[in-house]
Amino acid sequence: MALIKISSYFIPIIVLGIILYGFYKKVPLYDSFTKGAKEGMELAFSIFPCFIGMIFGVNILLKSGILDQLFLFLKPVFQFLKIPIEVLPMALVRPISGNASFAVMIDLIKKHGVDTFLGRLASVLQGSTDTTIYVLTLYFGSIGIKNSKYALKAGLMADAMAIIASILLTSIFF
């Protein structure tokens, strides 16, 4: 209980410390704050089209039914490799959205349980992969990079290796 009380005061103490340090250094605090807020808004507006494009592409992919056809096509392969096909949506959505993949993981755990192979695989997969497309959209969009060169390929390759490693390690340890 005492830890909760301490943590609720932590952010106000940090803000007060910044204000006191600003007074000590004779920084025009309000002007600095409004300048930073303006730069933040400009950044948000500059990356907004990138996010809209990403959301639009994901919705087209989801609504078109291509994923359902992909699952039907890959189901025999996954059964042969003894990998639950239920983890595939999470693996596909993880590079795009951390929240969406987290929701898929929670759904898998609710349906199959925490201590099942599928629940453990989903947990390891969530912790081992990254939101590559989201990160590239955010970072490259914020500074205006149009050509990501090898960043997307390298990021998606790292995600693919993390997915394979997650499956192998979960199979070995659980």
Residue 60 lies in a domain: no
Q: Are 25 and 88 in a shared domain?
A: no
Residue 132 lies in a domain: yes
Q: Are 70 and 149 in a shared domain?
A: yes
Which stretches in the chain have pLDDT values below 50?
none
Q: Are 89 and 155 in a shared domain?
A: yes
pLDDT in tens, 104-115: 899 899 999 889
pLDDT value for 66: 81
Alpha carbons within 13 angstroms on the beta-carbon side of residue 160 total 6
pLDDT value for 43: 75
DSSP structure string for 69-123: HHHHHHHHHHHHTT--GGGHHHHHHTTT-HHHHHHHHHHHHHHH-TTSHHHHHHH
Report the alpha-carbon distance of residue 125 to residue 94 in Å, rounded. Answer: 9
Please identify which residue in the block is written with the tokens 């497309």.
133
Q: Are 17 and 79 in a shared domain?
A: no
Overall domain count for the chain:
2
Q: Are 133 and 81 in a shared domain?
A: yes
4 token code pair:
């909760």
Q: Residue 18 is part of which domain span? A: 1-46
Residue 101 lies in a domain: yes
pLDDT value for 2: 62
Q: Are 1 and 38 in a shared domain?
A: yes
Residue 52 lies in a domain: no
Q: Are 157 and 122 in a shared domain?
A: yes
**Whether this model's pTM surpasses 0.75:** no
Which of 52, 88, 97 has its CA nearest to residue 69? 88
